[in-house]
Structure 1
């Protein structure tokens, strides 16, 4: 029986992303228990054994392989399972394959009596988070997608490089689909306490070209990494741990995740990447930034792209 003070995570999928998430969880000491679930039970068991052998160098944590029945008392179920993005394939190309996989996963988790928070990372993450919400029947605040948390981290890293400032002092957002129609919110980008518009002239052609180069590198980062090593997993794994920590520690942190919109930003009945306040209850509320005219158009285009794919898949 789970004790009152136990933070338990159930991880479904022990591929590249899942095992990287587990390794980062162990190193950061975020939870007390981690159960690893995979169709390949031998792989999940092997990962659990391997991670346990590092406990002497980390914080106390119970790590073991399990099955869907172990989800019944989990605080968070993290889903990284599904078909991977292949070279030349967009995230939206994965829809049909992964919606079928997710229906089985989510129904199996709910059959265990689970009543915690779902955290979805599998692509296309916005559509699969919406599917998880529909299949689970849970309240919208308890179903979260990783959204544009990694894209936002990539943007902060590249802007930090450009201005030679620590990434952690760059405050910027990528919003919209986690994919080709995402966009940077330059109007709300700050370096330390200074607005980007107060540091550079955003109307200047040279500046616009430089910022566009930064954004294109953010948007296409996954393609570049997949071409070179076959998959992306370290960055998104750390992003998932960041969201997990914000939930378990009741942080009320603002993170760019995939959340359900019900009128915010002029959109309804769609999961999409937006800044949101995250705490022990999941999504406390969505932060509605005043976007400029260009950003509003980009957000609308991104939402319409997702809705068109969702109509076919769900």
Structure 2
């Protein structure tokens, strides 16, 4: 039978390895498969039965997707020569639990895991997704010794998608016409960058609804609350977030492997941004085949900069607690 959909134009011989075959890791693999992000998707998990089952389940659908080889193993060697390694393994967030509460266990996991991954995939870009992703990104950077651009946390890519969805719903403008970012922590201290938000070519601050400001302070506050509490609501209802983060990470991977040079709010080392330095947090950066590039110039209101500095200090304090 012929393939039902045309093949994606992903570069040949590209490989994505995903560490962790749970809900998030498997959904990232699924999103990568249906979008043709890479020619090989490798799942690695210490649970041999589960990782084999996940790989088989994905491979059984290969007739309906762009040409992709899916493999899974409890041997880290399955990640060999990957172009990108995604890290989803670790303690999972429980209902009502702050992401930062996961830091100790997940930093310890990275200390053991990261050197083993680089032993088999020394040229890979590492993409931490495990929470708290800003702290884990710093741990991966520390334990890998890689240049900062090769450690790219998933950061606030998903948060920014949530923000755009809510702006779209409130304004009645389709999500593709919304440009807005969340920056800072992927967590409770996340910062919506309202001063750089647009609907089409219209700044959010100038948007009118029936002649009145479309996004007054109370609406902005409600939207921020909805963004920062979105994961808690999903986890309370179904136990874990999976679909949206799967799509978000697949989009990041496609941007990297396709050398698309898109601007995305990923977590990487910030070395000097308005006095914020030596901390991993999310800011809009140019993302390409070499990893995370420079932070793009941002219009920031004074209160936004104050919030970003506070977010950075929260992340830095926890990193220091674990010797990072």
Question: TM-score normalised by the shorter chain: which range applies?
Answer: over 0.9
Aligned to 2:92: 84
Contact 1:21–1:238 (8 Å) recurs in 2: yes
TM-fit CA distance, 1:5: 3.2
Q: In structure 2, which of residues 282, 286, 291 is the aligned counterpart of residue 273 of structure 1?
A: 282
Aligned to 1:45: 52
Q: In structure 2, which of residues 281, 301, 307 is the aligned counterpart of residue 298 of structure 1?
A: 307
- Count of residue pairs the alignment pairs up: 310
Q: Write the deviation string for residues 116-142 of structure 1: whole angstroms up to 9, x where unpaired.
A: 100110000001011001111111000
TM-fit CA distance, 1:111: 2.1
Provide the rounded CA distance (Å) in 2 between the counterparts of 1:139 and 1:312.
23
Q: In structure 2, which of residues 24, 28, 36 is the aligned counterpart of residue 29 of structure 1?
A: 36
Provide the rounded CA distance (Å) in 2 between the counterparts of 1:254 and 1:71.
28
The normalised TM-score by structure 2 is 0.93
Q: In structure 1, which of residues 86, 104, 108 is the aligned counterpart of residue 116 of structure 2?
A: 108
Contact 2:82–2:124 (8 Å) recurs in 1: yes
TM-fit CA distance, 1:200: 4.0
Contact 1:35–1:70 (8 Å) recurs in 2: yes
Contact 1:72–1:115 (8 Å) recurs in 2: no
Aligned to 2:221: 212
Q: In structure 2, which of residues 149, 159, 176 is the aligned counterpart of residue 151 of structure 1?
A: 159
Aligned to 1:238: 247
Provide the rounded CA distance (Å) in 1 between the counterparts of 2:135 and 2:215.
36
The normalised TM-score by structure 1 is 0.95
TM-fit CA distance, 1:69: 2.1
Aligned to 2:15: 8
Provide the rounded CA distance (Å) in 2 between the counterparts of 1:21 and 1:206.
34
Provide the rounded CA distance (Å) in 2 between the counterparts of 1:241 and 1:80.
13
Aligned ranges for residues 278-293 of structure 1 at < 5 Å?
278-293=287-302
Provide the rounded CA distance (Å) in 2 between the counterparts of 1:206 and 1:182.
19
Task: Indicate how the Cα distance of structure 1 residues 54 and 183 shifts in structure 2: closer, same or farther if over 3 A, else same.
Answer: same
Q: Does 1:124 align with 2:132?
A: yes
5+ residue gaps, structure 1: none
Aligned to 2:177: 169
Aligned to 1:188: 196
Q: Does 1:65 align with 2:72?
A: yes
Contact 1:125–1:146 (8 Å) recurs in 2: yes
TM-fit CA distance, 1:206: 7.8
5+ residue gaps, structure 2: 1-10
